[in-house]
Chain A
């Protein structure tokens, strides 16, 4: 049995990555290297105001004094920041009409199952497509603007809504927050910007699709979402990259601001290239995501399904500042082959009656290493704060690992904390039970794993839930014998 398991596990590891193709187009690309001149050049291309350049430079000067964090449970080759290029953009740049976008790029998105053509788009989802360092197209803009909703690339927002950008940029993640956030603040090239006005319930899902194409390029995008009083928005993020032998760096920042009575729901399906079975290539994904529940009764909910990347370092967090505000984190993280994930969340309770929920499902197969790292902090004035945490891990095979590091810091005696953690293997008895009912092994594994992830998948918007299920099925195909 064990030998057979191993054979089939080995077979899985040879599974092709579906999105590994690359697009052959002409790109404008900076020479490798990072210094103040590079940042100035970048800022100039983007026609940025002086204050933004100053903000970048300040971040850069701080970054130079910082060192890469080493506390995470991940191992990787040192990154040579001078060997990377900090800007790559298709030569034919974005215009108002899709007709002006390079057909190769449209084709790339079609292959990824993302149609930029509004007629062909699934109803109810608006997309901002980011290709390497720049945003290529944003769909349904006009429709959204009827409601006063701003959904555009970050670069456009800087030009068209500088007051909003200036007010909120760095308000949740300060430019010097951590090593990767500082780097991102210095060199971010594009990303998405969303503003939902007072009382508006966004009529469709908003979505950004990130695609890394160029070689030796870091992708540093920045997303900023502001929900004004009483508004609601659900936002989806998807990512893929070509298969390349060298590691590619992705260091993004996502900032969310929820005003009084508003709700932001942010869902991610991360399927960056994970490297081959020897662990060669793949994306280094160092991401800072944080939201502030600024107003009373506001809510921020993070849901993530992480199946890709060679290395993942990511802790979507919520600062619950307003009274009665709510923070949620639902996560499924899958590691196989030599993938490593160190992911989790931080819930910071400041306001009274604040409530947070953390539900994480770690799945490790092959030699994958999956670490959950979660912090819950209850500040002194957070009367009656509540946290519920449940961190479950499942192991497939005997070469993988699951690790859980919960950090709890309670400074108010009225807090109610609940923490549960389990680690289990897919039981031979469960597989036998399924097989005995005529269900074959692959189907049994995906059934058991999907069952394990159910509480998280239920949080995803409908279409994404289906995609997530399929992704898990493909990812784990043949992972048990």
Chain B
């Protein structure tokens, strides 16, 4: 699905990603763990095309398309979706309006007919009830005054509505209570199938008790230093990261 080769990125001349190699085939769930500041969110942002970061080398290929130079919205339309670690508020713009615009931008790109307000509402309501959210959620301004948990659920609502090819979850599990964590996990499990891929960035094992990863990567100082299976997660939970630095 996505292939990242020797990706280097910096901000204000400070090198952050120092040669990332990562390939996620369709149907797989990958996990990245790593210390605070090791560059995980940077990687997620660079995959999404955030222009705050300078790409200094390497390639990102989505299916067969090289997207390294592609604009943010075209990557999104090509199927990349980022669940933000800190989703930003847009006062006065309702979830419903925003999400329908986003969905229709995708549908248009895919040559499908745009969805009218009623059809959209029915689709969104079905997803909302699965996430245990009230319909009134759609009337609220995006992320404006949302609690931490509501923000994360809103990201999952958007993920399920847009139904992209690759979902990058940046600490979507952080700050959630036990029930909310289960709801989010349920949403991700509902999303995933053999034709799409998931990249989960996390600090904890707890989300992975619900979503079984196929591959786990450990990141240190802008590089993936170890790749393995679920046992790596257990090791990190127990021993932290210092053993990797030897």
Contact of A451 among B72, B84, B105, B141 (CB under 8 A): B141
Return A466 CB to nearest CB of chain B, in Å.
14
State the CA gap A440–B92 with chains docked (Å). Answer: 18
State the CA gap A436–B79 with chains docked (Å). Answer: 10
State the CA gap A158–B88 with chains docked (Å). Answer: 57
Q: Which A residues are CB-close (under 8 A) to B93?
A: 447-448, 450-451, 454
Contact of B102 among A437, A450, A452 (CB under 8 A): A437
A451 near B101 (CB under 8 angstroms)?
Answer: no
State the CA gap A237–B163 with chains docked (Å). Answer: 46
Q: Given the interface contacts A428-B52, A432-B72, A435-B76, does A440 sit within 8 Å of B105 by beta carbon?
A: yes
Binary per-residue interface labels of chain B (184-196) against chain A in the complex, 1 for a CB within 8 Å, 0 otherwise: 0000000000000
A448 near B101 (CB under 8 angstroms)?
Answer: no
Interface residue A83 (Cβ < 8 Å from any Cβ of B): no
Return B157 CB to nearest CB of chain A, in Å.
12
Give the interface residue-count category, chain B.
Answer: 20 to 34
Interface residue B77 (Cβ < 8 Å from any Cβ of A): yes
Q: Which A residues are CB-close (under 8 A) to B73?
A: 435-436, 438-441
State the CA gap A450–B142 with chains docked (Å). Answer: 13
Within 8 A of A (CB), among B62-113: 71-73, 76-77, 80-82, 84, 87-88, 90-93, 97-99, 101-102, 105-106, 109
State the CA gap A230–B178 with chains docked (Å). Answer: 58
Contact of A430 among B77, B88, B99, B101 (CB under 8 A): B88
Q: Which B residues are CB-close (under 8 A) to A430?
A: 88, 90
A429 near B72 (CB under 8 angstroms)?
Answer: no
Closest to B102 in A: A437
A438 near B82 (CB under 8 angstroms)?
Answer: no
Return A52 CB to nearest CB of chain B, in Å.
47
Within 8 A of B (CB), among A440-456: 440-441, 443, 447-448, 450-455
Residue from the set B76, B87, B97, B109 with the largest chain A CB neighbour count within 10 Å:
B76
B88 near A437 (CB under 8 angstroms)?
Answer: no
Contact of B98 among A441, A447, A454 (CB under 8 A): A447
Q: Which B residues are CB-close (under 8 A) to A55?
A: none
Q: Given the interface contacts A428-B52, A451-B141, does A435 sit within 8 Å of B72 by beta carbon?
A: yes
Return A423 CB to nearest CB of chain B, in Å.
14
Contact of A438 among B91, B92, B109 (CB under 8 A): B109
Interface residue B56 (Cβ < 8 Å from any Cβ of A): no
Q: Given the interface contacts A433-B87, A435-B73, A437-B162, does A1 sit within 8 Å of B102 by beta carbon?
A: no
Binary per-residue interface labels of chain A (109-130) against chain B in the complex, 1 for a CB within 8 Å, 0 otherwise: 0000000000000000000000
Return A470 CB to nearest CB of chain B, in Å.
15
Return B106 CB to nearest CB of chain A, in Å.
5
Q: Which A residues are CB-close (under 8 A) to B101?
A: 437, 439, 443, 447
State the CA gap A428–B53 with chains docked (Å). Answer: 12
Q: Which A residues are CB-close (under 8 A) to B102?
A: 434, 437-439
A433 near B88 (CB under 8 angstroms)?
Answer: yes
A433 near B90 (CB under 8 angstroms)?
Answer: yes
Q: Which B residues are CB-close (under 8 A) to A440?
A: 73, 105
Q: Given the interface contacts A437-B98, A438-B76, A438-B102, does A448 sit within 8 Å of B71 by beta carbon?
A: no
State the CA gap A315–B168 with chains docked (Å). Answer: 50
B91 near A437 (CB under 8 angstroms)?
Answer: no
Interface residue B51 (Cβ < 8 Å from any Cβ of A): yes
A1 near B92 (CB under 8 angstroms)?
Answer: no
Interface residue B50 (Cβ < 8 Å from any Cβ of A): yes
Q: Which A residues are CB-close (under 8 A) to B141?
A: 451
Interface residue A199 (Cβ < 8 Å from any Cβ of B): no
Interface residue A427 (Cβ < 8 Å from any Cβ of B): yes
A438 near B106 (CB under 8 angstroms)?
Answer: yes
B76 near A1 (CB under 8 angstroms)?
Answer: no
Q: List 3 A-B pairs, minimum CB-CB distance, nearest first.
A: A451-B92, A451-B93, A454-B92
Residues of chain A having any CB pair with chain B under 8 Å: 1, 427-430, 432-441, 443, 447-448, 450-455
Residues of chain B having any CB pair with chain A under 8 Å: 48-52, 71-73, 76-77, 80-82, 84, 87-88, 90-93, 97-99, 101-102, 105-106, 109, 141, 158, 162
**Known pairs A438-B77, A438-B162 / 6 extra A-B pairs, C-beta < 8 Å:** A435-B76, A436-B73, A439-B101, A447-B97, A447-B101, A448-B90
